[in-house]
């Protein structure tokens, strides 16, 4: 018996979501855990997977359409089931979709094995001439070009039409690598200069005398104003940060730590670690250790109580093309530094590909955000609600430091700014936490304990 596939509530409390793209096509069979479609929420682009084996009978919501949570988006059936009259099956489920109003979709024969489980950008073979192999980019009889959400965004930003890009993804789907190759190809193409044909009348007219160029009289041409429509992610970021500043009483505490031993420890760890460990990975572990030493910081504010959490869950801010996301590392206090580094690296890669899961973006009491790689000395960050604090990390700089023996020596100094929600956390508590963090950073062997 056919049934309706409905828009899932991939984000708690969300009323709508946007269906970015269908990975499975009409009449195509799929297996349990295969990706059926990609859905954009206010925080990220997530994969919508199948609960059991089945076949997609008809698409009811076309790509790029926003739909309410729980609304029908497709008609599905059990694997191998044949539906003779699709319109009648929809009518029995109180869904009426006239053939003329049907969205444009691609048809894939049921006998063709689905490739929806492929989540990686394939490697494109390039011949000796540098040309890419010709691959069809249209599907079915509609001529529609399918592409990933990230690929469409990159193409739009570069002013490219997806119809001119060759897709190498599953079923000819355009992926990020295809757009990058198209952009690179366009940059090396120089249009030939077309000669201007002279008429006989034009050749008889004397050229006007040359006027000496006056550089001071040259005025810059007015640039064109470019308007970039807000994405769901950008609107969500704006809304959450505005809410944060309006509802959370922020206050700030600055601290600094000499990190020469921390940098030396990182060098030694990377000599043996299978995963490259960054300074930010060590700071995440140090912050978790400080939360253990001062458990009153590992709390959340609610309307009824201050909630103290049993594990140290810390967000790691990641900059992506669509905006800032903060996936959460859970139980950081129990992780080895190699696991922290591997988890953070995985989050960064999947964040930039729009492949984070919703649950990975929720929870946590604090976040670490680092702009040191941009030579930023120090900055203050806005708390990500409902968390209670955020630690802003600046660049490590060589500074003159007075040693305990009264001599001035150059030392590697790290400046930090802690933004705190004053409702659940008092000033003394935050000061104790900052003191603990500095102690751990300056004696980094405590990170590994």
List active site positions: 422
Edge to edge, what strands does the sheet with 54-59 contain? 3-6, 72-77, 54-59, 29-30
Q: To which residue do tokens 């359409």 refer?
A: 65
Distances 257 to 50, 170, 405, 437 between C-alpha atoms, Å: 49, 50, 18, 9
Q: Hey, is 401 helix, strand or coil?
A: strand
Are 152 and 162 in contact by the 8 Å Cβ rule? The answer is yes
Strands (E) in 27-71, as ranges, are 29-30, 35-40, 45-49, 54-59, 65-68
Residues 6+ apart with CB under 8 A from 178: 124, 151, 165, 166, 167, 168, 169
Q: Is 6 helix (H, G, I), strand (E, B) or coil?
A: strand
**DSSP code of 164?**
G
First-to-last alpha carbon distance for the chain, in angstroms, is 58
Within a 10 A sphere around the Cβ of 1, how many other Cβ atoms?
9
The C-alpha atoms of residue 77 and residue 79 are separated, in whole angstroms, by: 7
> What's the CA gap between 30 and 50, in Å, rounded?
8
């Amino acid at each position: 018996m056919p049934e309706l596939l409905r828009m899932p509530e991939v984000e708690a409390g969300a009323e709508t979501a946007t269906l970015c793209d269908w990975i499975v096509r009409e009449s195509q069979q799929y297996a349990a855990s295969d990706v059926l479609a990609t859905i954009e929420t206010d925080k990220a682009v997530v994969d919508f997977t199948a609960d059991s084996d089945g076949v997609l009978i008809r698409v009811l919501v076309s790509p790029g359409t926003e739909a309410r949570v729980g609304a029908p988006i497709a008609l599905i059936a059990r694997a191998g089931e044949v539906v003779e009259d699709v319109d009648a099956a929809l009518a029995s489920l109180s869904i009426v979709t006239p053939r003329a109003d049907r969205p444009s979709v691609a048809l894939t024969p049921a006998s063709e094995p689905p490739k929806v489980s492929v989540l990686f950008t394939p490697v494109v073979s390039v011949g000796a001439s540098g040309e890419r192999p010709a691959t069809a980019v249209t599907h079915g009889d509609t001529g529609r070009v399918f592409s990933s959400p990230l690929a469409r965004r990159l193409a739009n930003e570069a002013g490219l039409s997806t119809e001119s890009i060759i897709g190498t993804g599953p079923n000819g789907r355009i992926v990020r690598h295809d757009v990058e190759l198209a952009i690179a190809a366009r940059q090396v193409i120089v249009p030939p200069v077309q000669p201007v044909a002279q008429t006989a009348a034009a050749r008889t007219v004397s050229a006007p005398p040359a006027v000496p160029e006056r550089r001071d009289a040259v005025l810059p041409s007015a640039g064109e104003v470019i308007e970039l429509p807000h994405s769901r992610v950008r609107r969500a970021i704006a809304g959450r940060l505005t809410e944060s500043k309006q509802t959370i009483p922020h206050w700030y505490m600055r601290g600094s730590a000499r990190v020469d031993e921390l940098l030396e420890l990182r060098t030694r760890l990377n000599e043996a670690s299978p995963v490259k460990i960054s300074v930010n990975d060590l700071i995440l572990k140090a912050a978790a250790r400080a939360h253990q030493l001062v458990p009153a910081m590992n709390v959340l504010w609610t309307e009824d109580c201050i909630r103290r959490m049993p594990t140290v869950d810390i967000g790691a801010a990641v900059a992506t093309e669509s905006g800032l996301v903060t996936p959460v590392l859970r139980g950081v206090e129990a992780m080895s530094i190699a696991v922290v580094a591997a988890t953070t690296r995985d989050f960064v890669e999947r964040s930039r590909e729009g492949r984070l899961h919703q649950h990975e973006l929720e929870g946590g009491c604090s976040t670490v955000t680092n702009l040191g790689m941009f030579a930023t000395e120090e900055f203050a960050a806005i708390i990500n609600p409902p968390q209670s604090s955020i630690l802003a990390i600046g660049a490590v700089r060589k500074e003159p430091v007075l040693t305990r023996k009264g001599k001035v020596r150059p030392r590697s100094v790290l400046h930090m700014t802690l933004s705190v929600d004053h409702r659940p956390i008092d000033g003394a508590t935050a000061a104790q936490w900052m003191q603990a963090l500095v102690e751990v950073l300056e004696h980094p062997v405590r990170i590994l304990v």
